Chain A
Amino acid sequence: MVKELDVRGLSCPLPVVKTKKALEEMESGELHVVIERAEGCQNVKRFAESQGCKVIVNESDGLFTIHIHKEQTSTSVSPKQSKDAVLITSDVLGTGDRQLGEILMKAFLNTLWDAEPRPARLLFLNDGVRLTTEGSDVLDSLRLLEDAGVEIFSCGTCLDYYQLKDKLKVGSVTNMYDTVDTLLSSAKVIKI
């Protein structure tokens, strides 16, 4: 099915904004944008191309029709960061040999950086806080994630209990109120 979008008479940046909304609303397929100004046409074309779509422009009688083809795989319209949270309650990944668990946890956090979209938040609870404090060997991976915009929180009660409060090396301290709020408001929570 072809979706039609008429942006005649609209000034910049509205044609681009409307095109963005229309593309976000469709998973794949054809979007035809009608516009009367050449520069607006250029802007819409550029936007669609920057989102990984194929674009063809037809001009007739001073009117431009921009044919935009969106593939299912052109995901760049979606944000680079999801609304998901990862809840980490241990300093190792999985149960079994402790050394293997450490290796897996390290690999997991390194791989998160490459994930698209990355989670919005990492929550460290119970033994998990050993990963965000002095002596952890995943601090560099966590700092990279933090630099990329992933929020990192450690449970304050847990830090107190293990007497690690002054040894927190990455992210910030959170309380149970915010933890519950994050768990309930995230699109998806993945417990590790």
Chain B
Amino acid sequence: MEGLPVMTDPNLIIGMERSEDAGVYKLSDELAIVQTVDFFTPIVDDPYQFGQIAVANSLSDVYAKGGKPLTAMNIVCFPVKTMDISVLRDILKGGLDKMLEAGVILVGGHSVEDNELKYGLSVTGTIHPSKVIRNTGCRPGDKLILTKPLGVGIINTALKGEMAERSAVDKAVRCMSTLNKKASELMQISGVNACTDVTGFGLIGHACEMIEDTGVGIIINANDVPYFPEARELAEMGLVPGGTHRNREYRKAMVKISEDLPVYINDILFDPQTSGGLLISLPSGNASALLSALHNGGVDDAAIIGEIVDEPRGKIIVR
């Protein structure tokens, strides 16, 4: 959209100016709608699982804003001539089951013929206009919580190369198809300053979006960052997705990673995630309470991974 005019509207709460997860538009003083769309090519072999992951991924943007997703529409690109239609049925079944779990109603959809299979959702949710959680708003002294382990990009790359153990793939699939619903509900109760979800730009890429052009910086403690042990093994074998290197290159001016840290940690921090966890910035006093609530609520891998600092502003230090 660079170079094109930005549309404005007095009721627009979140538009396109920043790299936000979803758009938010005020309908009344009590009610706003949250909108998002996402679709992609298969990342796993099983169509049903792919459907589940695609839906968890699409809904995540609404959860990250503190919204409640209500309705969804399927977006399908399908190679009718070369692929059995039962594949599509399984994808849609996986998607539908995930929507049922989330309490989201499917209201329609659109499909086109394409050489490459793609699936995703357009999602509409609601939120109170004064309770929108932005990806900016981190305050010095805040703690950062990440709610899912990292490394699914590395495991997916190994899967593509047929070099991943079944058990690692199962873990990654379970992680990617887990809704961020519970994490979102708990963070809303707790009260937080900012939130985003970790997806294609990796943990560091999305953390950069939270502090870019703001007056604060981030310190991340690498030892506290949750990740799949299998991802370490595979990264050490060179099974690193191309996106990792692009993510690192793109943000290199904003990030300083201690040279004492092993290379695989560096790869995991920039690993592109699919349907990753929420990255939450909240006052330090609320952090341990939210963390135990998350653990009690089944968000087992959630961890406090760092904090917001005054200096160096606009930079991320990983130590």
A-side residues, CB < 8 A to B, are 11-14, 16-17, 20, 38-40, 42-48, 50-51
Contacts and interface: CB of A to CB of B under 8 A. Distances in A.
Interface stretch (B77-85, B221-229, B237-245, B285-293): B237-245
A13 B160 contact: yes
A39 B245 contact: yes
B246 to A, nearest CB: 8
Nearest to B242: A12
B161 A46 contact: no
A17 B162 contact: yes
A11 B246 CA distance: 13
B71 interface: no
A13 B236 contact: no
B158 interface: yes
B237 A47 contact: yes
Contact of B239 (A11, A16, A48): A16
Interface residues of B, number: 16
Contacts of B236: 46, 50
A45 B162 CA distance: 19
A127 B162 CA distance: 41
B161 A14 contact: yes
Nearest to B245: A39
Contacts of B157: 12-13
Contact of B163 (A17, A44, A48): A17
A43 B239 contact: yes
18 contacts: A12-B239, A12-B242, A16-B161, A16-B163, A16-B237, A16-B238, A16-B239, A17-B162, A17-B163, A20-B161, A20-B163, A39-B245, A43-B239, A45-B238, A46-B236, A46-B237, A47-B237, A50-B236
Contacts of A14: 161
Contacts of B239: 12-13, 16, 43, 47
A42 B248 CA distance: 14
Interface in B9-55: none
Given A13-B239, A14-B161, A50-B236, 9 more contacts: A13-B158, A13-B161, A16-B163, A17-B161, A20-B161, A43-B239, A44-B238, A50-B237, A51-B237
Contacts of A50: 236-238
A42 B238 contact: yes
B237 A12 contact: no
A13 B162 CA distance: 10
**Most B Cβ at <10 Å: residue of A11, A44, A46:** A46
A42 B249 CA distance: 14
Contacts of B242: 11-12, 39-40
A46 B163 contact: no
Contacts of A16: 161, 163, 237-239
**Most A Cβ at <10 Å: residue of B157, B158, B238, B242:** B238
